[in-house]
Structure 1
Amino acid sequence: MPGKNISKAAPLSPDEVALREELRADVQTLAGEIGERNMWRYPQLNAAADFIENSFTRAGLRPRRDSYEMHGQACYNIEAEILGAQATAVSEPPPIILIGAHYDSVFGSPGANDNGSGVAALLALARRFAGKTAQHRVRFVAFVNEEPPYFLSDEMGSFVYAGRCKTRGDRIDAMISLETIGYFSDAPHSQTYPAPGLGILYPKVGNFIGFVSNVHSRALLRRVVALFRKHAKIPSEGAALSDQWSFWRHGYPGIMITDTAPFRYPHYHSSTDTPDKLDYDRFTLVVSAMEKVIGDLVGL
């Protein structure tokens, strides 16, 4: 991967300390107060949607609910967009950088890391870009129904959303999925991989953040990793599946940012995925660097 990697995380700046507490508070709201949120906990799923919508609104954005029906009940993807300043021909759609995270949790889990961490990062980034004018549009989207039994199906909220983007002719130049990004470990052999041979190529210690793409999105992956390593104070590795899969299926380039979830996190998809399990300092360093990466991508 391009760019110079670092070997360990650095201390937080004063601004990052404030960001850490913001992330901690949002994870606590989602996983500590609302808790398990999915179609089996439909009131809690809607409470999470309300929280996200209200957070966008308080940031000065104008959120929009993109709804579809599941089992006779309305489900909501929630988007907020910041328009870009770059002019395009009337016949050409404007380029969009889309940042997404799913807000549902798996059955039986409060979902602090999966994916309260991704949603907290999404909201923090939206707050920091609100009121700014970039060259390109940046769109923040919270997706519903990523977890089983909807995972990798046309009932995933992100799949429905990406299909509607394609139908409208939206020009999404990059989709970045924030997926389970809050757990890190310095313990030996704390990192595993889906294929045994990958342990030869990649670290055996889970102290880094990972970037994942498909072949079609490799150029985007290399660009984002290079920018991340330019700004980051935490190690990274770039090589998979989450909401970016839905955008791949519709022909859009997409990457996932992840702590690798089940290959590192011992509380993955369990009742013990609670807010106290996250490493908020290193989680903060990831979000802080991604703010700068996105700023570079959208032309700030």
Structure 2
Amino acid sequence: MRLSTGIRITLWASLLLLAIVSLRWMTAMPGSSASDSLPAASELELTLAQELEADVRALAEEIGERNMHRPGTLEQAADWLEERLQAIGHEPRRQRYELSGAGMARYAGETADNLVVEIPGESRPDEIVVVGAHYDTVPGSPGANDNASAVAVLLALAEYFHDKPQVRTLRFVAFVNEEPPFYMTSDMGSHAHARQSREAGDNIVAMMSMDGLGFFSDQPGSQHYPAPGIGLAYPDTASFIGFVTRMRDRRLLRKALGAFREAASIPSEGAAMPGFIRGVGWSDHWSFWQQGYPAFLVTDTLPFRDPHYHRSTDTPDRLDYERMARVTVGLKAVVRTLAE
């Protein structure tokens, strides 16, 4: 039966309205994003920017490409991370796991290491907040933004909280093997960590993954999005940091972004979208979803703005360390809030 023109128009109008309401629900976030007109950086932010740059350069320049394609580089990076964590007062442990070959058969039986530090909670130590970033790179890239930038922030957060125990236990993890050929397989370091956590009965109440925190642009048109229509809700300028998760974890994301906006002096945007949309599950938080843990991603959106993503030109000189410092200040508030 052929529908009349009036009925077809009504159906299309209803679908359009549903799409608008759904997009509004997915993107409605608490608080207000900071203005693009950034205030002068504080002395703390300037000092922090120098420390972040030093860590990024140590990983991306002194070590460089870090993956199993170049034997020995992951071990070198893990040694460096262990020394840095010890220098800021932690006693890191290596979580070594054996690869099954799910990512690539040639690596079956080989081992890799996550680096883990914990700060026990004062009154609810059995409730765990995980903060993580991967330290490996794709073959051929020094990985300054992907992902030395987030590892540098991870170290800054671990240093800030090392003598500040919270209500819940804080667990900081530098993950190995996030990148292809291990990406979205059981051979990811984060997948091994989440799986072992579930087997141990760990009560992980929140997981924050950080991936790509250093590339920003003030040029109109510098920001892109993974699906048609999403750009209607967000800026086209790559001057903000993004918070992303699946729809199921919307409440957690809103809590995190609300805390960030109260403390940070840099613009921020958030979205809780269907997990099948490109980019929503593109990092270590995906591994925690597989074990039923709530998790979200903090990112500059990487391939949707950074033209040097996964290239040999992903070098430290391109990153904006002052804005990274502003992000770090905001993420301190996020961690405190999640750990309450």
- Sort the TM-score into its range (normalised by shorter chain): over 0.9
Residue 291 of structure 1 is matched in structure 2 by 332
Q: Equivalent of 2:158, from 103, 123, 126?
A: 126
Q: Equivalent of 1:45, from 52, 58, 74?
A: 74
Residue 118 of structure 2 is matched in structure 1 by 81
Give the Å deviation of 1:59. Answer: 1.2
Cα separation, 2, equivalents of 1:163 and 1:156: 11
Q: Does the CA-based 8 Å contact 1:183-1:277 persist in structure 2? A: yes
Give the Å deviation of 1:53. Answer: 1.1
AA aligned to 1:3 is G
Q: Does the CA-based 8 Å contact 1:154-1:160 persist in structure 2? A: yes
Shifted more, 176-185 versus 11-20: the winner is 11-20
Does residue 268 (structure 1) correspond to residue 309 (structure 2)? The answer is yes
Runs of 4+ in 1 over 6 A off after TM superposition: none
Q: Equivalent of 1:104, from 123, 129, 136?
A: 136
Give the Å deviation of 1:163. Answer: 0.3
Q: Equivalent of 1:177, from 205, 209, 212?
A: 209
Residue 251 of structure 1 is matched in structure 2 by 292
Give the Å deviation of 1:196. Answer: 2.2
- TM-score, normalised on structure 2? 0.85
Residue 91 of structure 1 is matched in structure 2 by none
Q: Does the CA-based 8 Å contact 1:10-1:234 persist in structure 2? A: no
**CA displacement, residues 175-197 of structure 1 (integer Å, 9 cap, x when unaligned):** 00010010100001000011121
The 3 A distance-change label for structure 1 pair 275 and 87 is closer
Give the Å deviation of 1:87. Answer: 4.6
Residue 177 of structure 2 is matched in structure 1 by 145
Q: Does the CA-based 8 Å contact 1:6-1:233 persist in structure 2? A: yes
AA aligned to 1:209 is I
Cα separation, 1, equivalents of 2:113 and 2:338: 27
Residue 254 of structure 2 is matched in structure 1 by 222
AA aligned to 2:59 is L
Cα separation, 2, equivalents of 1:286 and 1:109: 24
Give the Å deviation of 1:10. Answer: 2.6
Residue 31 of structure 2 is matched in structure 1 by 3
Give the 3-state SS of the residue equivalent to 2:77 in structure 1: helix
Cα separation, 2, equivalents of 1:78 and 1:230: 31
Q: Does the CA-based 8 Å contact 1:95-1:137 persist in structure 2? A: yes
Residue 189 of structure 1 is matched in structure 2 by 221
Q: Equivalent of 1:12, from 8, 16, 41?
A: 41
The 3 A distance-change label for structure 1 pair 74 and 204 is same
Runs of 5+ consecutive residues of structure 2 not aligned to the other structure: 1-28, 100-106, 272-279
AA aligned to 2:155 is L
Q: Does the CA-based 8 Å contact 2:256-2:337 persist in structure 1? A: no
Q: Does the CA-based 8 Å contact 1:81-1:138 persist in structure 2? A: yes
Residue 320 of structure 2 is matched in structure 1 by 279
AA aligned to 1:139 is R
Give the Å deviation of 1:42. Answer: 2.4
Cα separation, 1, equivalents of 2:92 and 2:248: 30
Cα separation, 1, equivalents of 2:165 and 2:197: 23
Does residue 66 (structure 1) correspond to residue 103 (structure 2)? The answer is no
Q: Does the CA-based 8 Å contact 2:119-2:171 persist in structure 1? A: yes
Runs of 5+ consecutive residues of structure 1 not aligned to the other structure: 89-93
Cα separation, 1, equivalents of 2:314 and 2:164: 35
Does residue 25 (structure 1) correspond to residue 54 (structure 2)? The answer is yes
Q: RMSD over aligned Cα, in angstroms?
A: 1.1
**CA displacement, residues 193-215 of structure 1 (integer Å, 9 cap, x when unaligned):** 11121111111000000000012
Cα separation, 2, equivalents of 1:58 and 1:152: 33
Give the Å deviation of 1:269. Answer: 0.2
